Amino acid sequence: MNRALYSRGLTTQRTFDVMCAATGLLLLSPLFAVVTLLILVSDGRPILFSQLRTGRHGTQFRIWKFRTMRAGVTGNSITAAGDGRITATGVWLRKFKLDELPQLFNVLRGDMCLVGPRPEVPEYVDQRSRMWEAILQVPPGITDVASLLYRDEEALLGTAHDPDRFYRETLLPAKLCLSLAYMSTRSMWSDIRLIVLTVHSSLSPGRLDPSRIRRAFGLGA
């Protein structure tokens, strides 16, 4: 690919991401205030939770979320359905993916894009793998096809005898394959469509048709 054309594409994407993130933060500021108040009243401080993630070219950064777990409690990096660490407010926030909204600040900072492979915690990233090498060539995102198709990831992990092993050996490789397949044909219009579908799935959880999503982005039935 022509380097100048590639650079121009990245600039266009960055401009689009910054404009959308800034507009989203402005429009959603009342919702941010409501969620902040709910967490304060029901669970206290802190309001936000940060975690180290691996971004483009293996650079590590801190991702931000609304806190959905009891403060000061540690445990596995992945979360399965029924995890006792999740607060009552956190269950509601996770259901509608509202805990992810502070990542709009990560987009403004340049850590993430709106659309891209989800950034993983370092312990799950194998930079010697060709698959990971390809994934880490692009900035991570708030949403991608894998995020939509595995929206109920916690429920799947909840059925596994060994959630950590199931995630490493089955779920994560499947998600990476989907991300790579999408990246090979992505365009600005497909990104916009993906963002719209993500918003729709957050407003109406449980109404997503996985086979329709796969067909819409040329990922097979």
What is the C-alpha to C-alpha distance for residues 131 and 212, in angstroms, rounded to an integer?
A: 26
| Angle separating helix axes 29-42 and 3-27, nearest 10 degrees | 60
The string of pLDDT tens digits covering residues 117-136 is 999 999 999 989 999 999 99
What is the C-alpha to C-alpha distance for residues 175 and 118, in angstroms, rounded to an integer?
A: 9
113 forms bridges with which residues in the sheet? Answer: 141
DSSP states along 145-206: HHHHHTTTHHHHHHT-SSHHHHIIIIIHHHHHHHHHHHHTT--HHHHHHHHHHHHHHHHSTT
The string of pLDDT tens digits covering residues 175-193 is 999 999 999 989 899 999 9
The string of pLDDT tens digits covering residues 132-152 is 999 999 999 999 999 999 998
pLDDT of 1: 47
Domains of the chain by residue range = 3-216
DSSP states along 191-218: HHHHHHHHHHHHHSTT---HHHHHHHTT
- Give yes or no for a contact between 49 and 89, defined as CB atoms under 8 angstroms apart: no
3-state secondary structure of 79: coil
Looking at the predicted structure, is the pLDDT value of residue 83 above 50? Answer: yes
pLDDT of 8: 57
| Angle separating helix axes 29-42 and 88-95, nearest 10 degrees | 150
pLDDT of 112: 97
Q: Which amino acid is at 8?
A: R
pLDDT of 219: 84
- Under DSSP, the state recorded for 48 is E
Q: Which has the minimum average pLDDT: 8-12, 16-20, 132-136, 149-153?
A: 8-12
Average pLDDT of the chain is: 91
The string of pLDDT tens digits covering residues 89-105 is 999 999 999 999 999 99
Q: What share of the chain is helix, strand, coil (3-state, %, to 5)?
A: 55, 10, 35
Looking at the predicted structure, is the pLDDT value of residue 65 above 80? Answer: yes
Q: Which has the minimum average pLDDT: 8-22, 33-47, 138-152?
A: 8-22
- Give yes or no for a contact between 149 and 213, defined as CB atoms under 8 angstroms apart: yes
C-alpha distances (whole Å) from 103 to each of 22, 41, 51, 128, 221 are: 12, 23, 12, 28, 31
pLDDT of 82: 87
66 forms bridges with which residues in the sheet? Answer: 48
